[in-house]
Structure 1
Amino acid sequence: MELVQKEHDRLSKKINAAQGLKSVDSIIDLLQSARNTIAADPSQAAITLAKLQNPVKSSFDSINDSLKETHSGLNKYSKSLDKLFKDRPLPNTEHDVLSSQEHLINRAIAMHLLREGQFSVAATFLSEMADKKAIKKQQEAETSATDNAASLLDIDEVPSGEVRKQFATMYYILHELKENNNLLPAIQWSRDNKEALEARGSNLEFELCRLQFVWLFHGGHDQQGPSAGGRQAALEYARREFHSFLPRYLREVQQLLGAMAFCPNLQDSPYKNIFNNPSAWSDVAHAFTREFCSLLGLSADSPLYVAATAGAIALPTLLKLQTIMKAKRTEWTTENELPVEIPLPPSYLFHSIFVCPVSKEQSTDDNPPMMMPCGHVIAEESLKRLCKGSRFKCPYCPSESHPREARKVFL
């Protein structure tokens, strides 16, 4: 990897696009000047062209030398990449689970394109899907390919038109937030969906309003730093908006208003992390995307991206496993299970597993984990078995409680 980084740095130094563009601009200016001179006085054409020969030749030589250096660096860089990432065959399997699930793959691709904001590409992809299906059912179908495309949206193969509108709204709000530092569309959306967000325990609306307060504090669109006008605008905004967040966010509101006393020396104040957070805008954009997708019943990240990334992480392990199996002439016959554990990032672990410390069994939907008032968790079946009469003792502490006081734990 060090060799690749070394060649990358060397290539970055060699590539001097600005110098090449200057040479091209110089040639264009010379040719334009010569054209104007000849147009004004045709008798000077021979002399003008003679004067033009050497400068143009030197400029072309400079451009060619620059291109040679660039191509040389690219060749060395590509060779270093080939040495590091050697071409290896992908692991094969006799059990191709996805071969019979083409509609699920098409749906995943269409959803990924919509989630990435590639609406025109998604429309073309859906149209091609409709055309393909129309050809297959040409003798049976009585509608055109366009009508068939509309009918496809009524089944589970591809997302509906309403989902497309929702994602278009999401990208409009994200564009305003990231490009124009305009939080108002996002705040309005959070208020329109206030009940659903509160049911999820989300604090998105307050995070957006807090960032709006900080933005006004720093001067709004001018962003010239804390000033008297910015403080006054932020204070008026706090009086108008923050009363609805009390008493849940009382401490956070107190911190925002208390920071005004430290305005001349905010860098050394206890509130500097709130008012000087370089990742605040990206964090709130990610939080908005996560909550928006959650209300649509979708994950914040594209399942296709997650699956491709997890597969790329697993490839080295699977290749090594395939090599060992070939060498030992063995086979793995279990379809739904891998013989080795694939280490994935914590964000890619979606199914938490609880093993009851009493029965040593994994929790299921029919046997969920239950938390007792003392804080210990056991499976529901173990809880029922341990109950004697109306009260029972926790097997891990002397506390007694009623079985009905235990509550389900959502992992």
Structure 2
Amino acid sequence: MDAIQAEFDRLNNKSNLSKAVTDIDKCIALLENARNQIAQEPSSRGMTLARLQQSVNSQLEKVGGDHKEVYTALNRYGKALDKKFKAASAFSSSDYDALSNEGHLINRAIAMHLIREGQFTVASKFVQEAGDLDIPPELQDEFVEMYQILKAMKEQRDLDPAIAWARQKARQLEQRGSNLEFDLCKLQFVAMFVNGMDGRKHAMEYARREFGRFQDKHLKEVQMLMTAFLYTDNLQQSPYGRPFLEPEKTWEDVAHSFTKEFCSLLGLSAQSPLYLAATAGAIALPTLLKMTSIMKEKKTEWTSQNELPVEIPLPPSYHFHSIFVCPVSKDQTTEENPPMMLPCGHVIALESLQRLARSGSAPSLKCPYCPKESTLAQAKQVII
């Protein structure tokens, strides 16, 4: 990667481009001066144009030299990339053909990504040119509403549209166990409270009007909010002053929570799957290219179809479900090979448990991690 970085630094060097811009600016200045001279003294037109031609040609030669250095660096950078990632050629043409056969799904993922990101004009044009992608037309209307609410929340600090939406969807949110409506009302209270004496008065009226219906589920939090009136002069001393002292973070958290719940009610994840897949692929690509190159040299192939040959470390935000790796076989458990807990509390995969049961002559089997014995029927499946 050092060679690529060196060529990239050479390509990214602003001195050559700056020189070219400076030389072009000089050409423009020469032309403007010549125009002014001709306007003031029309009789000197021939002499001025002769001098201008020589000066402009000289400046253009400098610009050409500057551009030549940039083009040379760009050419070297491309060659360095081809040399470094030549292992990519290990992928056969059939792999690319298989990918092209999934063009419909890829186009749909791109269109969904554009809609989710609020690029509605681009998404409409893309869908029009890509053909029928089976995307409900009302889905874009839903995301238009979401972005309108988010814009009011982030730019205008207006929570009324979000609260109205949460109350409209109260039953669905309650079924999900969501606290979105209360979080929005709580933030509305905080926004009023920090707005001076009149704000605290409005906050008290708002709390009396709105917080009553949240008492069954959020009584403790309501009580903590109301203690702010005891620390009006110095909220820093309040043990419950965090929502009032970190307003920006609170707004960001509530906006993220709103986006998550809005997408969940549409049956979608809070983040674009295309973005997540592309980012995870970019993280994994160097390792996979290296593995491909090694296997090509050793003339070996991947033996697993549903998992990668090496572990790819991804950020915690990319861990979407819990996994369990059997401590005996070192294999990750699946639906066909679930984790099983023995009476002693140790957990191993079902296949490992069955092998232990078959290996002994007695009806009982010994736990591989403690002296306790049990039977295969006593093991219970663990749901993670």
Partner of 2:225: 256
For 1:102-141, what aligned pairs fall within 5 Å after superposition?
102-130=103-131
1:303–1:369 Cα change, 3 Å: farther
CA contact (8 A) 1:355 1:363 kept: no
Partner of 1:364: 335
- Residue correspondences, number: 320
One of 149, 152, 170 as aligned partner of 1:173 = 149
State yes or no: 1:340 paired with 2:310: yes
What is the identity, as a one-letter code, of the residue corresponding to 2:275? Y
Partner of 1:284: 254
CA distance in 1: counterparts of 2:340 and 2:180, whole angstroms: 29
Partner of 1:99: 100
State yes or no: 1:230 paired with 2:199: yes
State yes or no: 1:265 paired with 2:234: yes
CA contact (8 A) 2:114 2:122 kept: yes
1:316–1:296 Cα change, 3 Å: same
Partner of 2:85: 88
One of 211, 216, 219 as aligned partner of 2:187 = 211
What is the identity, as a one-letter code, of the residue corresponding to 1:113? L
Note the C-alpha offset of 1:297.
0.6
For 1:2-401, what aligned pairs fall within 5 Å after superposition?
88-89=85-86, 90=88, 92-93=91-92, 94-96=94-96, 97-130=98-131, 152=132, 157-219=133-195, 227-277=196-246, 278-354=248-324, 362=333, 364=335
CA contact (8 A) 2:228 2:235 kept: yes
The superposition leaves residues 170-221 of structure 1 with CA deviations (integer Å, 9 ceiling, x where unpaired) of 11111111111111111111111111111111111111111111111122xx
1:212–1:125 Cα change, 3 Å: same
CA contact (8 A) 1:191 1:205 kept: yes
Note the C-alpha offset of 1:312.
0.1
CA distance in 2: counterparts of 1:83 and 1:272, whole angstroms: 59
CA contact (8 A) 1:358 1:378 kept: yes
CA contact (8 A) 2:337 2:349 kept: no
Note the C-alpha offset of 1:336.
2.9
State the superposition RMSD in angstroms: 5.0
What is the identity, as a one-letter code, of the residue corresponding to 1:241? E
CA distance in 2: counterparts of 1:124 and 1:321, whole angstroms: 39
CA distance in 2: counterparts of 1:197 and 1:181, whole angstroms: 23
Stretch of structure 1 that moved more, 115-124 or 82-91:
82-91
**With structure 1 as the length reference, what TM-score do the two structures score?**
0.62
CA distance in 2: counterparts of 1:270 and 1:117, whole angstroms: 40
CA contact (8 A) 2:338 2:382 kept: no
The superposition leaves residues 51-85 of structure 1 with CA deviations (integer Å, 9 ceiling, x where unpaired) of xxxxxxxxxxxxxxxx9xxx9xx99x999x99998
CA contact (8 A) 1:95 1:335 kept: no
CA distance in 1: counterparts of 2:169 and 2:335, whole angstroms: 32
CA distance in 2: counterparts of 1:191 and 1:377, whole angstroms: 44
Higher helix share: 2
Give the SS at the match of 1:264. coil
1:358–1:335 Cα change, 3 Å: closer
**With structure 2 as the length reference, what TM-score do the two structures score?**
0.66
1:208–1:368 Cα change, 3 Å: farther
Partner of 1:60: none
What is the identity, as a one-letter code, of the residue corresponding to 2:85? R
Q: For structure 2, list consecutive stretches of 5 or more residues without a partner in the other structure.
A: 42-62, 354-366, 371-379
Percent pairwise identity = 52
The superposition leaves residues 19-59 of structure 1 with CA deviations (integer Å, 9 ceiling, x where unpaired) of x9xx9xxx9xxx9xxx9xxxxxxxx967xxxxxxxxxxxxx
Note the C-alpha offset of 1:260.
1.5
CA contact (8 A) 1:177 1:186 kept: yes
Note the C-alpha offset of 1:92.
2.3
